[in-house]
Amino acid sequence: MSSKTVTLPASYHGDPGSIPGRVTPDFRMWVSWRTMPSVGGFSWGSPVSPVPSFRCCSILIPINTLIGTQDLDQRQETECVLCWQTVGHVSGAHVNPAVTCGMLVTGNITVLKGLLYIVAQCVGAITGTAVLKALTPENFQGNLGTTLVNPILTPLQGFGIEFFLGFILLIVVFGVCDANRSETKGFAPLAIGLTISLGHLVAIDFTGSSMNPARSLGSAVLSGVWDNHWVYWLGPILGGLSAALIYKHAFSAPVVEVAEYSLVQVPSL
């Protein structure tokens, strides 16, 4: 198969995988970094600790590189399942500040707990990125998977893409985690993983399909590349807030009423 090289502006430091017909070591490294967990999730009304969210961000990144760069979407779904099944019962496995903000604005967690979650997610992302950088050969690091807006787009267009990615992710998260919907029990990790995969298929060449501010922050801190970084915070968070409020006030399942029974004394035979 023949390959061709497309010249891009010297100022472009984005995803080399978006160059038609070219797959470079930098792109392979970018794929591994790109698949850092950007999943969301929560457990309605469960006791929550931010520590597992930190661990998810810092541990699952090296796993991505060890697995390799094939079957990208399948591995993202696997990460989601692993994260939920491992610490979902402890912290809700938010992992994503957009998910935490959605939970906060709908009153499912307190402000203090939300702040602790976001700090833990960001610290975990930076720490995990640093660990992976230390363990990766320098010529394979590239730009450490920094998410950047494709030069063919304006920053506002990039913001719009990340906004809708965050919106779709959060509407799915709230839908499959609604405590009043018994038919979705057990399918939440798969549904969220498929949503993330769909987002990557649609937008990975345009914005890197971040969907997770903490994920973008980790790469930006270690690479020193901050071009249009605001896109990856405002986009997913505002999209997520919109989805969370819409679901709560328009689509949430009705509360299941449990009939009350009075005790009846059965005479002994």
Write out pLDDT tens, residues 162-217: 999 999 999 999 999 888 888 877 788 888 888 988 998 999 999 999 999 999 99
Number of structural domains, the chain?
1
| Least confident residue range of 192-196, 220-224, 264-268 | 264-268
- The distance of Cα 136 from the centroid of its chain, to the nearest Å, equals 23
Neighbours of 17 (CB within 10 A): 18
Q: Residue 17 falls within a domain, yes or no?
A: no
In terms of pLDDT, which residue wins out, 265 or 94?
94
pLDDT classification of 260: cutoffs 50, 70, 90? low
**CATH number for the domain harbouring residue 139:** 1.20.1080.10
Joined tokens for residue 150: 């494709």
Domain limits for position 141: 22-251
Rg (CA), the chain: 20
pLDDT classification of 56: cutoffs 50, 70, 90? very low
Whole-number Å distance between alpha carbons of 193 and 178: 17
Whole-number Å distance between alpha carbons of 212 and 37: 8
Q: Residue 207 falls within a domain, yes or no?
A: yes
In terms of pLDDT, which residue wins out, 260 or 203?
203
- Whether residue 128 contacts residue 62, with contact meaning beta carbons closer than 8 Å, is answered with yes
- What average pLDDT score do residues 230-243 get? 97
Predicted confidence at residue 112, as pLDDT, reads: 96
Q: Residue 256 falls within a domain, yes or no?
A: no
Distance (Å) of CA 93 to CA 98, 126, 156, 251: 12, 18, 30, 23
Q: Residue 258 falls within a domain, yes or no?
A: no
Joined tokens for residue 256: 């299941």
Phi, psi for 225 (deg, rounded to 5)? -100, 115
pLDDT classification of 9: cutoffs 50, 70, 90? very low
Q: Residue 12 falls within a domain, yes or no?
A: no
pLDDT exceeds 70 at position 47: no
> Which percentage of the chain shows pLDDT scores above 90?
43
Q: Residue 257 falls within a domain, yes or no?
A: no
| Least confident residue range of 8-22, 29-43, 140-154, 251-265 | 29-43
Q: Residue 15 falls within a domain, yes or no?
A: no
Predicted confidence at residue 184, as pLDDT, reads: 77
Classify residue 51 as exposed, middle or buried by CB count within 10 Å of its CB (0-12, 13-18, 19+): middle
| Least confident residue range of 44-53, 116-125, 204-213 | 44-53
Predicted confidence at residue 192, as pLDDT, reads: 87
Q: Residue 74 falls within a domain, yes or no?
A: yes
Q: What does pLDDT average to over the chain?
A: 74
**Length of the chain in residues, anyone?**
269
- Whether residue 158 contacts residue 234, with contact meaning beta carbons closer than 8 Å, is answered with no
